[in-house]
Amino acid sequence: MKSWLRGQGRYAALIAWASVAALALSLFLLFRHRLSADHLSLWFNDNLLVASLVYTLILSLRGLFLIPSTPLLFMGIAVFPPVWVWSLNMIGILTSSAIVYVMVRGFGFDYLVRERYAARARQLSRLMEKHGEPVIIGWSFFPAVPTDVIIYCAATLRLSLVRCLVAVGIGEGILITFYVAGGNQLMAMLGMGGVAQ
């Protein structure tokens, strides 16, 4: 019975994943003329609360699709105030990490990560068996690698979700701080501006 439920859960998760991907692609194709930087910036200025909720929702769900958060972070830097974009990114990344953890543990959804990052996942699993949280912090801080892979490894090794989220929060918090500070300076040098500095 338990294996049947797990199989059904995996099937339901795959259908949900494909549905969200199809919806996102359809919306992009329908509204791509409205996705210019100027148009988005004006919309975000006029609808800060709604934009914040949509932005956080996208950040929270992107881990299911193994989409890196860095491009979204730079989009957020362009349209949100610095402290606000930092906070939204932390909420989104921690929520995304928790979702990935639950999907791996609850639905056996690990095959996506295993297929895409098989070599890295094996190396990380060996490292994490010895060092645990310091590996998660270091991995989360390193910008060139997806945090979702380390969460996958942590979930398969049965590390505590709370310990994983604390470690991801430390690593990502430092990294996002550098990105937000550097991104605002870069935009200032280029004569560009966000919504509110």
Dist CA 125 CA 130 (whole Å): 9
Name the domain count of the chain. 1
Domain, as residue range, for 42: 35-189
Q: Is residue 46 part of a domain?
A: yes
Q: Is residue 174 part of a domain?
A: yes
The sign of the torsion formed by the CA atoms of 175, 176, 179, 185 equals negative
CB 176 within 8 A of CB 69: no
pLDDT digits (tens, 9 = 90+) for 84-131: 999 999 999 999 999 888 887 776 666 666 666 667 767 777 777 778
Per-residue pLDDT tens listing for the chain (197 residues):
445 445 566 666 667 667 766 776 676 667 666 666 567 667 767 788 888 998 999 999 887 777 778 888 888 887 888 899 999 999 999 999 998 888 877 766 666 666 666 677 677 777 777 787 888 888 888 776 778 778 887 887 778 889 999 999 999 999 999 989 887 666 566 555 444 44
Encoded tokens for 127:
């490292």
Q: Is residue 179 part of a domain?
A: yes
Q: Is residue 10 part of a domain?
A: no
Helices (H) and strands (E) in the chain — how many of each? 10, 0
Report the predicted TM-score, pTM, of the whole model to 2 decimal places.
0.69
3-state secondary structure of 35: coil
Q: Is residue 71 part of a domain?
A: yes
Q: Going by C-beta distance under 8 Å and a sequence separation of 6 or more, which residues neighbour residue 121?
A: 113, 114, 149, 152, 153
Q: Is residue 70 part of a domain?
A: yes
Q: Is residue 173 part of a domain?
A: yes
The residue count for the chain? 197
Q: Is residue 16 part of a domain?
A: no
